[in-house]
Chains A and B, each alone.
Chain A
């Protein structure tokens, strides 16, 4: 979000605000919450906050970082309101890949190098979105902010109220879980 948040003119219309920030906020909220209706409510709340505070921002970078923070906070507040709370005890993803001896527990198959055109296809995007949605929330938030939104670990730590080593630890686990989820789709078929 920070690098692509476009500046608005001095007299932005509702249409300008929706076009500039709507898809960014909605995408982040949808990925964090996994539910369209919740993401829509968060998007509305965040865009209302944007128009109230717009005049306080001078630079694009400051606005981008702030937009992330406001959207993440709105999503976290939404989750707190949900009756169902996720359990965070998840097995170490390395346990599935490595034996007690420290060696790989099975053969490691090479992945196809998918061309950009394939990654841009709707089916591939849906596959990756689904894998992200399956991540436990604890890991999902860090993963989205780091590997989808491209934020630095220090920025993520600040937004989520964590220390950088905690961000890296969660990010590593999230990547391992994502790798396991995507492997069946990207592994080359043995000949």
Chain B
């Protein structure tokens, strides 16, 4: 029987389905009879989920302005396509 700490050490492989069947079953048996680990597993998964929901940060207006100016200086205001070979 694995301990709660052993369970926690294998979480990364467990949630990514990277454990051999035998170890996966050990985890599932443990979670089935340890409510603390079941809760811990839920919160580990939620940690991943909330980070996946992060949205892109908008560009600060002054950076947008700076980028416009730098890119236009390099490739002209209308076209960043490379010159024909």
The chain A residues found within 8 Å of chain B, CB to CB, are 10-18, 22-24, 26-27, 30, 36, 40, 43-44, 47-48, 51, 54-55, 94, 97-98, 101-104, 107-111, 113-114, 116, 119-120, 124-125, 128-129, 132, 143, 147-148, 150, 153, 168-169, 171-172, 175-176, 178-179, 182-183, 186
Chain B residues close to A by CB (< 8 Å):
3-6, 8-9, 11-13, 16, 18, 36-37, 39-40, 42-44, 46-48, 50-60, 63-64, 66-68, 70-72, 74-75, 77-82
Task: Give the interface SS of chain A, mostly helix, strand, loop or mixed.
Answer: helix
A113 to B39, CA, bound (A): 12
Q: Is the CB of B5 within 8 A of A51?
A: no
Return chain B residues, CB-CB under 8 Å to A11: 78-81
Residue numbers in A under 8 Å from B51 (CB-CB): 128, 132, 143, 147-148, 178
Q: Is the interface of B mostly helix, strand, loop or mixed?
A: helix
CB-CB nearest in chain B for A164: B18
B44 A51 Cβ-Cβ under 8 A: no
Q: Are A94 and B5 in contact (CB under 8 A)?
A: yes
Closest 8 CB pairs of A and B: A102-B3, A14-B71, A172-B12, A55-B82, A119-B53, A102-B5, A98-B5, A108-B36
Minimum Cβ distance to chain B for residue A61 (Å): 19
17 A-B pairs within 8 Å (CB atoms) are namely: A12-B81, A13-B77, A14-B71, A18-B67, A23-B56, A40-B66, A48-B74, A94-B9, A98-B5, A102-B5, A104-B36, A124-B50, A128-B50, A147-B48, A148-B52, A168-B12, A171-B12
